[in-house]
Amino acid sequence: MSPDFPSYSPAEEHELLRQTVRELADAKIAPRAAEIDETGEFPHDVLAALVQADLHAVHVPEAYDGAGADALATVIVIEEVARACASSSLIPAVNKLGTVPILLSGSEELKKRYLTPVARGEAMFSYALSEPEAGSDAASMKTRAVRDGDHWVLNGTKMWITNAGVSDYYTVMAVTDPTLGAKGISAFVVEKGDEGVSFGAPEKKLGIKGSPTRQVIMDDVRIPAERIIGAEGTGFKTALATLDHTRITIAAQALGIAQGALDYAVGYVKERKQFGRPVADFQGVQFMVADMAMKIEAARQLTYHAAVKSERAMHGETIKDLTFVSSACKCLASDVAMEVTTDAVQLLGGYGYVKDYPVERMMRDAKITQIYEGTNQIQRVVMARQILK
């Protein structure tokens, strides 16, 4: 591997970064996590703390005033924030999701115009692909973009958009030629302030309640032609390429949720006594804890492995198995997060089931990682196709 890229194992600077993020998360994010979940309000104070520490969008290259962190560093940031609060981890995760299409396919003008304010913490960026009738089958989208002179006019509704209404910018996929199927889809940047842009009511969700999920509604939204991302008709290809990189960030979020649940459960079983002994002394509990830790570490190694491949691909190297490993780490880590958080609730017994303790929140937050950015059923389809092609 080229010395310009991080090794498979985190380097010293990665571990120092982890320590920095964990200290911030423990001090300013974890104490707010229960309230964020209870109120369902976007944590503007957490965003401010992340921006102050330059941890809100570490992936943006230095050329656009960003930190220029590699993909592994980005994974570690998201993992450590998610360990404290899954909702808050969607700040750096979705900033990456929204901007990767521009990094991959956007003009230099678009990069300068939109990446710089995100890097400075002046704006957030969301990603709008799904629609009410186009989820796993994203290519069946109905949102249209029609060329009108030096502008495009967009009409349609995007659904399940993370941080909608809070983000200033949106990568929007829209049909520019309905006769070409997936090859007739193009990508655009839409701004919250564009005339004709509105948002649906916030969804009432099982978890990640501090991250608003809303419809993005476009009614004759007229945008300059130069806001197209890449060439006309390449939007769906860009969307799929984006997910190859950003499924890894969902794996990172799942890892953090799982690690947070394990850490809390371990502390609990060491203190909780039954039959005159700490619960941790019982072999059945020890086996559960061992399995939880083993699964997390397996998922972590696959996720870090995928992150290094993602970084190499972003620098132009052809990584033939990137699609496979990104799907695999997302699928494995999210399944592990659901298993581990469920076991954490079990280890706390009745206390695990009440909101006075954090593991029930972590279990609810973990569920979405098996669904968004491609359900785990779709991930298995993707992996199988990569193996069999």
Q: Which residues are catalytic?
A: 373
What does the chain come to in residues?
389
Q: How close are the terminal C-alpha atoms of the chain, in Å?
A: 26
Q: Is 228 left (phi over 0), alpha (psi -120 to 50) or beta?
A: beta
Question: What is d(CA 241, CA 235) in angstroms, rounded to the nearest whole number?
Answer: 10
Q: How far is CA 114 from CA 64, 98, 106, 258, 271, in A?
A: 9, 10, 10, 33, 50
Q: Which of 145, 172, 165, 166 lies closest to 236, judged by CA?
A: 172
Q: Phi then psi for 367, rounded to 5 degrees?
A: -60, -40
Q: Which of 250, 340, 256, 264 lies closest to 79, judged by CA?
A: 256
Q: Which of 274, 251, 236 lies closest to 333, judged by CA?
A: 251
Q: Which of 357, 258, 385, 304 lies closest to 37, judged by CA?
A: 357
Question: What is d(CA 375, CA 253) in angstroms, rounded to the nearest whole number?
Answer: 15
